Amino acid sequence: MHRGSRTELLSRLTEAITTVRAAHPTRVAVDGPPAAGKTTLADELAAILREQGREVIRATIDDFLFPRVRRYPRGEFSAEGCYFDAHDYQALHRVLLDPLGPGGDRRFRTAVYDHAEDAVVAPPVQTAAADAVLLFDGVFLLRPELIDRWDVRVFVSTTLDKTVERALIRERLASSRTAIERRWRERYIPAQQLYSATAHPTRYADFVVHNDEPHRPGWETAEHEVS
């Protein structure tokens, strides 16, 4: 494992993204547990790529949730429900990943769901440039249903107890400490353990970023070539 500055990490990831050669937009997955730092990393990469003149599409799995009435058939704190029932992967393929992939028409939408309103949405269709970069962050992105849709696969790794600490800081104004801890320890952490045991995401990642110390991260690269 290499350990260095945040700047070094961002430079290495940017290089991997910009050296992808494809006839369609480059689709980048930024996977990892909740509160691991996925959104921050994806936003940092987006800023760098835009400075370099690349068109960047930012999207997140949170905008591909099923409505609340559909995503808790096993209960609000079910880990299996979190992994199997929460996300609309068919819609994600249909409106975003496939249009930006091989043979796609590059006409895409970045969302099908509004979390604040708990409502299905259909934002206007946009058309991506052929050399655009999709930076997509979220949980469970290297599962079998999605693994072949990415051109670069990044897994942001953090000790699961540290994600609880971060969640308590991040969500303290929205939820009580008791509610946050219960949600993480009964639903999110066991769901990540289920994901790790069944999908083995780090095995398929091109980069595993160890983000316990965001200002001095560690990272490993896969033995296989970045596609």
Going by pLDDT thresholds of 50, 70 and 90, the confidence category of residue 160 is confident
CA–CA separation, 87 and 65 (whole Å): 4
Residue type, position 106, single letter: R
Dihedral (Cα; 14, 19, 23, 26), 10-degree rounding: -20
Q: Yes or no: say if 61 and 149 are a contact pair by the CB < 8 Å rule.
A: no
Check whether 16 has a pLDDT greater than 70: yes
The gap between the terminal CA atoms of the chain, to the nearest Å, is 21
CB 160 within 8 A of CB 35: no
- The confidence score (pLDDT) of residue 223 equals 58
Show me where the domains of the chain are located. Answer: 9-209
Q: What is the pTM of this model?
A: 0.93
pLDDT confidence band for 193 (50 / 70 / 90): very high
- Angle in degrees, 0-180, between the axes of helices 38-51 and 6-18, rounded to the nearest 10: 60
Q: What percent of the chain has pLDDT over 90?
A: 85
- Dihedral through CA 63, CA 91, CA 199, CA 170, nearest 10? 0
> Domain 9-209 - what CATH class?
alpha beta
* Whether pLDDT at 225 is above 50: no
Q: Tell me the per-residue pLDDT of 52-76, one tens digit each, with 9 for 90 and over.
A: 999 999 999 999 999 999 999 999 9
Strand partners, 2: 219
